[in-house]
Structure 1
């Protein structure tokens, strides 16, 4: 402990010396205590509210320092665009966390990797298979699983969370590995849920405190998570290898890349990269899809007038004799706007994965030391009343009248909604596939279901207050609702998908 404090103080003094030399102050923030600095200002839960309060008090930049480690919260889109996009060379790195990398095994994930040649190789491979021009080949799988989701919701809507998790897993396992998961108690889902359990804790801006002062119980838990993380990456990959040997493998991200290996050098390294990228696909896609669709159901419950307007649009374009198709999307601007507003209203990753400053920098008259953890505060940016009037309200009309009819396919870094997908060179490379999956699910649910308030034992509507989990991925807390077919024709459409 004494050695740790000495090293931390030494780091603090070096940074302080550089600040004096450059005659620049640190960005604003709460006054640190001696030795421990701003340790008590690092939120352990309800992070969005805590950092929103700091942003209200200190502005677009908030600087915290604890035990010699610095964290900078970037609270405006303009500042985030300048740092992460225009100065991306300096703000694309990651802090290496002994907890997440060494103890929990996430060092294979290029989302957690340092900004170096290894990261670029992984990112390039992932992008090649999930970029906008390739994403349409996955639409049949996404359509099939959206219909399967409807059937499950028809029979037991009260199991919403389970059905959404099964849906996300089915799409990702089908696209990535060509594996069809079991209807219940699927072992791949069980492994992945365990693996993802600790990722949110290890990736939060306060996680470095656990790295500096790890408690024995957390370290024991991390070792359990590591076993699940390695199994999540390795087991489905082994399944594809065995199926390829037997000639039974379905086309997928993994099988397609493995089939291209014959003409490549360094085959062993290429196989490891494929396995790593495939493992990241589940980790990146599953939780974000579940969070977005749960938020969608919640806002349809809270804003019945939005639901009615979307259903009117769907009835006019699609009719009531079939389910929506991807080809209908350009003709459904209000449904597209609902998806965009869901992403803004409850961003999946309110603080994302923190970046790191590679070198000392000056911004807006402030000194940002090398090694500073730099957090894009997406929650604040997407709830900034200067950009989004009445930000706590769900208003899809914010996104109406756009040239691209509201889709996310042309979401550029200059678009403020892009904050929902990360920043700069760490922008989400799988967003096109994820966008399509969420859209077909939203359009399908709206076309055949009414989402209403649940009733108590006396037949009175149960009011719902939107509340959310803490951690890197933000989910709505469980809430009561009713979901019923809009008509007998809607019920028949859902049942008919079983044989389609």
Structure 2
């Protein structure tokens, strides 16, 4: 045990440290704002602590939605001198992230995420600059819109595998969705087929991504707001659990990045590797003997592709099931369209897409109704800026409030209702144009998700196939009565539906036969 006097002395030291940090940052802000412009509106800060208690640590979407209703298009928070700007309207997001993208494309450095958890290698978290551009170039070459169709055969295969798993064990929905999402990404990125259960690659990635979803939002850990705490915070001090958590998360993070890449690299040298993102990227290098730096860039691009793709696809497909359970009329309309266009003779294919506008609309509405990343990854302002008479200091963390934008009643009538009809006039394909508000479901400006075309294609084929052969209905209790519930979602950077009662069964003998036939094709 430590003496009381020692504990009080350490506590007093931290108070002085925080106070000095606040004073220094306020002095820097005054020097940078010669016009003495006001900051954007926001809740009134407390002395020293600022808006510490206004930062959401759970239920982020609802918390920032309420603040957006109170303060409008954007609101401003400051905690220990660190500024956070939350953007709540599509117009403002387009103005800052698109039209001023050179100044709003940077990332802040998170002590927890970068230094303690080891994510500094991820180009999604990199500072905006030449190193980021080198990573982005590799990613763009392999996942641009014109290349996306090359992945369709593999995506169809994984969609069929999902049908078989749901037919045989419909009660294991979460397991199947995670397996499908992980399987397609591992196949595309590394050419690796994962085990049906307890795959080591999947297990290590789940642990790494669990840490990321908990740590990525501003203010999730105090050490991000006062980085010097890392130097002076002893592991025994109350609240120092962040160090122990970070150690475990870092270990999983680096294993997720390195283990599958090393496997493929060894297979490539021995001539046993199959075509995939990693082998294609290495083959595209100018030299026969790749330099370590080039291999590191490919390794890191592959790791972030898996991290982003697996978790987001799982969330989106589970959200689709929840939406159908709570809106049975959507399923009826979708199955009528599928039966009219395809009938009961085969499963949907990508070539059917132009003839299935309602299925396209469902995909759009799933992305809108519950965006995978309600707040996305925060950007950072590179240089001081002025917007509508407000001063936005350099170094300000800028958060796109995607959930609020996609539930803006000025853009979407009855925004909390799941209604694919709203997209029927624009549902033929998804171009993700920056002028379309739905584009924010994949990020903002130059930091938009580069794998969005492949990801959306996997969601489309999976949804079309599931609706063609399954009836998805609410779960029932022991008396056979339909169970009622309110849709609910997890907190964190990646948002998942919380468990809900459902029932999945084949639409008839034709559906069972079609699903069984996919096993023969796969073999």
- With the shorter chain as reference, the TM-score category is over 0.9
- 2:335 maps to which of 307, 311, 317: 311
C-alpha displacement of 1:264: 7.0
In structure 2, the residue corresponding to 1:452 is in which secondary structure?
strand
Cα distance in 2 for partners of 1:153, 1:468 equals 22
- 1:468 maps to which of 463, 479, 489: 489
Q: Does residue 47 of structure 2 align to residue 26 of structure 1?
A: no
Structure 1 unpaired stretches of 5+: none
Matching residue of 1:271? 295
- 2:376 maps to which of 352, 355, 360: 352
Contact conserved, 1:129 with 1:253, CA < 8 A, in 2? yes
C-alpha displacement of 1:201: 1.5
Give TM-score scaled by structure 2 length: 0.93
Matching residue of 1:6? 20
Cα distance in 1 for partners of 2:99, 2:286 equals 39
Contact conserved, 1:351 with 1:472, CA < 8 A, in 2? yes
- 1:414 maps to which of 399, 420, 435: 435
Stretches of 4+ aligned residues off by more than 6 angstroms: none
1:385-400 alignment runs, 5 A limit: 385-400=409-424
Matching residue of 2:326? 302
Contact conserved, 1:399 with 1:406, CA < 8 A, in 2? no
| 1:365-410 CA-partner distances (Å, limit 9, x unpaired) | 10001100000100110000011111000111111122xx4321x2
C-alpha displacement of 1:265: 8.6
Matching residue of 1:229? 253
Contact conserved, 2:221 with 2:242, CA < 8 A, in 1? no
Contact conserved, 2:76 with 2:85, CA < 8 A, in 1? yes
Structure 2 unpaired stretches of 5+: 1-13, 231-238
| 1:258-284 CA-partner distances (Å, limit 9, x unpaired) | 223352797111000000000011111
C-alpha displacement of 1:498: 0.7
Cα distance in 1 for partners of 2:115, 2:28 equals 28
Count of paired positions: 496
| 1:331-390 CA-partner distances (Å, limit 9, x unpaired) | 100000000001110011000000000111000110001100000100110000011111
Q: Does residue 307 of structure 2 align to residue 283 of structure 1?
A: yes
In structure 1, the residue corresponding to 2:425 is in which secondary structure?
coil
| 1:281-335 CA-partner distances (Å, limit 9, x unpaired) | 1111111101111110001001111110000000111111110001101110000
Cα distance in 1 for partners of 2:429, 2:116 equals 40
- 2:363 maps to which of 314, 322, 339: 339
- 1:363 maps to which of 387, 398, 410: 387
Deviates more, 1:204-213 or 1:21-30: 204-213
Matching residue of 2:4? none
Cα distance in 1 for partners of 2:407, 2:96 equals 20
C-alpha displacement of 1:192: 0.6
Cα distance in 1 for partners of 2:193, 2:116 equals 31
Cα distance in 2 for partners of 1:166, 1:210 equals 34
C-alpha displacement of 1:216: 1.9
- 2:503 maps to which of 476, 482, 494: 482
1:180-219 alignment runs, 5 A limit: 180-207=193-220, 209-211=222-224, 212=226, 215-219=239-243
| 1:26-66 CA-partner distances (Å, limit 9, x unpaired) | 00001100000000000111111110111111110100001
C-alpha displacement of 1:14: 2.3
Q: Does residue 124 of structure 2 align to residue 119 of structure 1?
A: no
Matching residue of 2:80? 67
In structure 2, the residue corresponding to 1:388 is in which secondary structure?
coil
Matching residue of 1:380? 404
In structure 2, the residue corresponding to 1:70 is in which secondary structure?
strand
1:89-104 alignment runs, 5 A limit: 89-104=102-117
Cα distance in 1 for partners of 2:133, 2:289 equals 18
- 2:92 maps to which of 65, 79, 85: 79
Contact conserved, 1:340 with 1:406, CA < 8 A, in 2? no
C-alpha displacement of 1:121: 0.5
Matching residue of 2:6? none
| 1:239-263 CA-partner distances (Å, limit 9, x unpaired) | 1112112211100110112223352
Cα distance in 2 for partners of 1:421, 1:261 equals 29
1:148-167 alignment runs, 5 A limit: 148-167=161-180
Matching residue of 1:456? 477
C-alpha displacement of 1:3: 3.0
Contact conserved, 1:95 with 1:356, CA < 8 A, in 2? yes
C-alpha displacement of 1:238: 1.0
Contact conserved, 2:170 with 2:503, CA < 8 A, in 1? yes
Matching residue of 1:252? 276
Cα distance in 2 for partners of 1:265, 1:254 equals 15
Aligned-CA RMSD value: 1.3
Give TM-score scaled by structure 1 length: 0.97
In structure 1, the residue corresponding to 2:386 is in which secondary structure?
strand
Cα distance in 2 for partners of 1:295, 1:269 equals 39
In structure 2, the residue corresponding to 1:207 is in which secondary structure?
coil
